[in-house]
Amino acid sequence: MDWQDYLAPLSQGAWVTIELTVYSTLLGALLSFVFGIGRDAHTRLLRWLSIGYIEIFRGTSLLVQLFWLYFALPVIGQAIGVNLQLAPVTAGVLALSLNIGAYGAEVVRGALKSVPRSQHEAAVALNFTPRQRLWRIDLPQAIPEMMPPFGNLAVQNLKDTALVSLISLGDLAFRAEQIRNFTQDSTTIYTMVLLMYFGMALVLTALMKLLEHRVGRWRTEN
Amino acid sequence: MSREPIIRFDRVSKRFGDFTVLDNLDFQVQPNEKVTIIGPSGSGKSTVLRVLMTLEPINEGVVYVGGDPLWHEYRRNNELSPARGAHLRRMRERLGMVFQQFNLFPHMTVRRNLTEAPRRVLGLSRAEADERAHELLELVNLGNQADKYPGQLSGGQQQRVGVARALMMRPRIMLFDEPTSALDPELVGEVLKVIRQLADTHDLTMLMVTHEMHFARQISDRVCFFDQGRILEQGPPEEILSSPKEARTREFLHAVLNPDE
Ligand SMILES: Nc1ncnc2c1ncn2[C@@H]1O[C@H](COP(=O)(O)OP(=O)(O)OP(=O)(O)O)[C@@H](O)[C@H]1O
Ligand SMILES: [Mg+2]
């Protein structure tokens, strides 16, 4: 077998990796906003919930989170009589999203904090409600600030997807391992996998740059 | 003047930690009166405006705006208790503020800077808000800048947008905190001209902090000299600016009018 024979199975794996990355990055972004905003909310319950989430998911390893969702959760489910056995894809996407969301929440919070206090005062003087201040003044100015760190997190997330091969999900890393076991052609296979991950990371970075430019257009008009 | 004052500070104190910024302040402004506040740095000038704009709470006393307590509301037994959000929102409708650093929203065009609050807060339709914005941009001589972003304008233009934006809400009282202090000298005139025009043509109560003494003399009905959180001396501009009674006022004016000494 030569490298062209590896291409089809590796591409299949790459496609799974792309799906995992897209779903978990999108869900992770949603979690980032919910808990990043909740982190400094007026309601104490919301604040504590957010702190708990952020600290737990940043303070433990992704691997443990993944195994917990996939292996431990069903056992708890059994004990209380509910089927909590997740499909590998679901467990994978969930673990990745929860993990990246915890880091993203800190990014959202930091970006919101970086909006100058004077903007807040101008908004109060114009009698905006707290919710309007958040949606119309703070977030639109904070989102461009979030984009570079979000880009890094998205690439980090892409690389982290390799871990889900450990719960038998057929992603790129999993396929590579399969073929290698079969052919022992480590050098070729891992070189190809390396390049494929790198290519995907390049595309992802470019996409994030594009997005960054779009949401921050008012900053370049000056 | 025996009319009901539109602004009344009744023994108001404001502290930051141990530091007293407003010290048992009594201060009144009549409807449509143009009042200028002068005084050394740290004397509490900005704080007076910020308290009125509900940006800074007070520790003691009561502030009345339009006859109603600003930082308090009446309970059933007619006692005053600290104001809640809804009360503050009702009271804020009466006031507008122009900031030293303009504080425009950088992510919105000039037009949206003006129309966003009237539409979201007052519930104006887009057409109504655009119409109002058009009129006010004409008033501040920026009729052709509506589609620019604040970052594309000069400081003088930005501050004129700041004036128009505050006026969009049709407040009865306008607060100006050193509106020209952040501007290059050659841009001060165009902003002062707009404010003077406003004073002449609108039924507005104006409260302004400024170091532009010539301007203060032209537009004010009264000048108040603040020192250490109190009004040390106040009166018609000719009197305060030309023949102040207090030594502190004389020192201050001398320093402002002869900055190079
Ligand atoms: N948030 C704050 N925390 C602590 N001290 C403050 C705060 N805001 C203002 N001060 C202090 O209160 C004092 C009065 O402030 P204020 O801004 O009212 O003075 P000012 O008369 O407007 O002075 P300037 O001419 O410098 O603008 C100053 O000494 C200032 O340092
Ligand atoms: Mg000041």
At B222-249, the pLDDT tens digits run: 999 999 999 999 999 999 999 999 999 9
Nearest chain B residue to A139 by CA distance is: B107
- Beta-carbon separation of A126 and B117 below 8 A: yes
B117 and A128: CB-CB below 8 Å?
yes
Q: Domain count of chain B?
A: 1
Lowest mean pLDDT among A14-18, A76-80, A218-222, B16-20: A218-222
Pairs of CB atoms within 8 A across A/B: 65
The distance of A51 to chain B (nearest Cα, Å) reads 26
pLDDT at B79 over 90: no
- The string of DSSP codes covering chain A is --HHHHHHHHHHHHHHHHHHHHHHHHHHHHHHHHHHHHTT-SSHHHHHHHHHHHHHHHHS-HHHHHHIIIIIHHHHHHHHT------HHHHHHHHHHHHHHHHHHHHHHHHHHTS-HHHHHHHHHTT--HHHIIIIIIHHHHHHHHHHHHHHHHHHHHHHGGGGGGGT--SHHHHHHHHHHHH--HHHHHHHHHHHHHHHHHHHHHHHHHHHHHHTHHHH--
Chain B nearest C-alpha distance from A213 (Å):
13
Residue B15 CA to ligand 2 centre (angstroms): 15
Q: Is the pLDDT of residue A122 over 60?
A: yes
At A1 the pLDDT is 67
Query: What number is the average pLDDT over the span B214-218?
Result: 93
Q: A120, A127, A133, A220: which to substitute to probe chain B, counting the most B Cβ within 10 Å?
A: A127
Looking at ligand 1, which atom is closest to the CA of residue B40?
25
What are the distances in angstroms from CA A33 to CA A104, A110, A119, A135?
8, 11, 20, 12
Confidence of residue B2 (pLDDT cuts 50, 70, 90): low
Q: How far is the CA of A206 from the centre of ligand 1 (A)?
A: 47
d(CA A20, CA A35): 22
Select the residue of B89, B106, B152 nearest A141 (Cβ to Cβ).
B106
Please give the residue of chain A at the shortest CA–CA distance from B150. A222
Cα separation, B31 vs B9, whole angstroms: 15
Q: pLDDT-based confidence at A182, cuts 50/70/90?
A: confident
Residue with CA closest to ligand 1 atom 30: B42
Ligand minimally distant from the alpha carbon of residue B44: 1
pLDDT bucket at B58, cuts 50 / 70 / 90: very high
- With CA atoms as reference, report the closest residue to A176 among A151, A159, A154, A196: A196
Q: What is the 3-state secondary structure (H, E, C) of A113-130?
A: HCCCHHHHHHHHHCCCCH
Determine, yes or no, domain membership for B204: no
Tell whether A128 is within 8 A of chain B (Cβ).
yes
β-bridge pairing B205-209 and B34-38: parallel
**Residue B207 counted as domain residue:** no
φ, ψ for residue B14, nearest 5 deg: -140, 125
Nearest CA in chain B to A142: B107
ipTM of this complex: 0.93
Mean pLDDT calculated for residue range B91-111: 96
Residue A100, amino acid: I
Mean pLDDT for B129-141 is 96
* B243 in any annotated domain: no
**Residue of chain B minimizing CA distance to A123:** B117
Q: Which domain holds residue B142?
A: 96-170
How confident is residue B47, by pLDDT bands cut at 50, 70 and 90?
very high
Q: Residues enclosing ligand 1, CB less than 6 A? A: B 16, 21, 39, 41-47
Helix axes A3-38, A88-113, angle to 10 degrees: 50
Percent of chain A predicted with pLDDT > 90: 76
Distance B54 CA to ligand 1 centre (A): 16
**Residue % of chain B over a pLDDT of 90:** 92
For residues A79 and A7, what is the distance between their CA atoms, to the nearest angstrom? 44
Residues 6+ apart with CB under 8 A from A212: A144, A147, A148, A151
Query: Which of A67-76, A159-168, B252-261 is predicted least confidently?
Result: B252-261
Determine the pLDDT at residue B165: 97
Q: Is B210 left (phi over 0), alpha (psi -120 to 50) or beta?
A: beta
Structure tokens given for B218: 């032209």
- Residue A193 CA to residue A195 CA, distance in Å, equals 5
Task: Tell me the three-class secondary structure of chain B, residue by residue.
Answer: CCCCCCEEEEEEEEEECCEEEEEEEEEEECCCCEEEEECCCCCCHHHHHHHHCCCCCCCEEEEEECCEECCEEECCCCCEEECCHHHHHHHHCCEEEECCCCCCCCCCCHHHHHHHHHHHCCCCCHHHHHHHHHHHHHHCCCCCCCCCCHHHCCHHHHHHHHHHHHHCCCCCEEEEECCCCCCCHHHHHHHHHHHHHHHHHCCCEEEEECCCHHHHHHHCCEEEEEECCEEEEEECHHHHHHCCCCHHHHHHHHHHHCCCC
Q: Which of A49-53, A180-184, B120-124, B195-199 has the lowest mean pLDDT?
A: A180-184
**Over 70: is that where the pLDDT of A222 sits?**
no
Q: What are the residues whose beta carbons fall under 8 Å from the beta carbon of B79, sequence distance 6 or more?
A: none
Cα(A159)–Cα(A183) distance, integer angstroms:
24
Contacts of B169 in chain A (CB under 8 A): 126-127
CB B149 within 8 A of CB B141: no
**Confidence class of residue B153 from pLDDT cuts 50, 70 and 90?**
very high
Which residues from B are below 8 Å from A221, CB to CB? 149, 151-152
**Ligand 1 centroid distance, CA of A74 (Å):** 60
Name the residue of chain A whose CA is nearest to B151's CA: A222
Judge whether B166 lies within some domain. yes
Measured between CB atoms, which of A121, A136, A222 is closest to B149? Answer: A222
Q: What is the CA radius of gyration of chain B?
A: 19
- Phi/psi region, residue B168 (left: phi>0; alpha: psi -120 to 50; beta: rest), is alpha
**Predicted confidence band at B221 (pLDDT cuts at 50, 70, 90)?**
very high
The Cα–Cα gap between A24 and A33 comes to: 14
Residues of chain B whose C-beta is under 8 A from some C-beta in A? 53-55, 89, 92-93, 95-97, 99, 101, 103-108, 116-117, 120-121, 149, 151-152, 165-166, 169
Nearest by CB: B54 against A124, A128, A221: A124
Dump pLDDT digits (tens) for A30-67.
999 999 999 998 899 999 999 999 999 999 999 999 99
Whether residue A2 has pLDDT greater than 60? yes
What pLDDT is stored for residue B39 in this prediction? Answer: 95
In a domain, B108, yes or no: yes
Judge: B55–A136 Cβ closer than 8 Å, yes or no. Answer: no
Atom of ligand 1 nearest to the CA of B17: 4
Q: Is residue B193 part of a domain?
A: no
Contact by Cβ (8 Å): A155, A201:
yes
What is the residue-averaged pLDDT of chain B? 94
**Residue at B107 is within a domain:** yes
Q: Which residue has its alpha carbon closest to ligand 1 atom 29?
A: B42
Catalogue all structural domains in chain A, each as residue range(s) with its CATH number.
Answer: 3-221 (1.10.3720.10)
Ligand 2 centroid vs B29 CA: distance in angstroms? 19
Taking the alpha carbons at both ends of chain A, their separation in whole angstroms is 57
B35 has a pLDDT exceeding 60: yes
Q: Is residue B39 situated within a structural domain?
A: no
